[in-house]
Amino acid sequence: MGRVFQHIEIDGRKYWTLFDTGARNSYVIPEVARLLVTSKLDRPFRSALGGGVKETDQTALLEGKVQGHRISSHAMVIDNIGKDENDNPIEVLFGALAMQQWGIRPVPDQETLDMSHYPTEFVEY
């Protein structure tokens, strides 16, 4: 499992983000969701996160930049993701599905992200 913390840019603002291969889905807090296109779910979505069960009825289209590279992915809106080891609030959790989609690989030993697999074009069949 790999975890790296970095800022990502959303609408020209920087948000503290946990890139976590141990989390399947992505999550944003309401402050971030206000900058994104959101929609209400038909029924609540529940997930185990940070030692507890989180519930939401809202989803967002997460659009932004990771190290200057454009990304677009699906994220659940939850009130609180948690804090990092230095007690900084985590504003975005970028999960494994989104990292796979955009070719992002965390390198925990160096506390950085490997963006060498970022797609420059999409070939769809």
Task: Compute the distance between CA of residue 108 and CA of residue 111 in angstroms, rounded to an integer.
Answer: 5
What tens digit of pLDDT does each residue of 37-64 get? 999 999 999 999 888 899 999 999 999 9
pLDDT at residue number 1 = 56
pLDDT at residue number 37 = 97
Q: Which of 121, 27, 10, 2 is nearest to 66 (CA)?
A: 10
Is residue 55 within 8 A of residue 48, CB to CB? The reply is no
Give me the tens of pLDDT residue by residue for the chain, a chain 125 residues long. 578 999 999 999 999 999 999 999 999 999 999 999 999 999 999 999 888 899 999 999 999 999 999 999 999 999 999 999 999 999 999 999 999 999 999 999 999 999 999 998 877 77
pLDDT at residue number 120 = 83
Could you give the C-alpha distances from 78 to 6, 55, 62, 95, in angstroms and in order?
A: 20, 7, 13, 14
Helix (H, G, I), strand (E, B) or coil at 96: helix
Q: Which of 88, 79, 117, 96 is nearest to 5 (CA)?
A: 88
If you search the block for the tokens 């930049």, which residue do you land on? 65
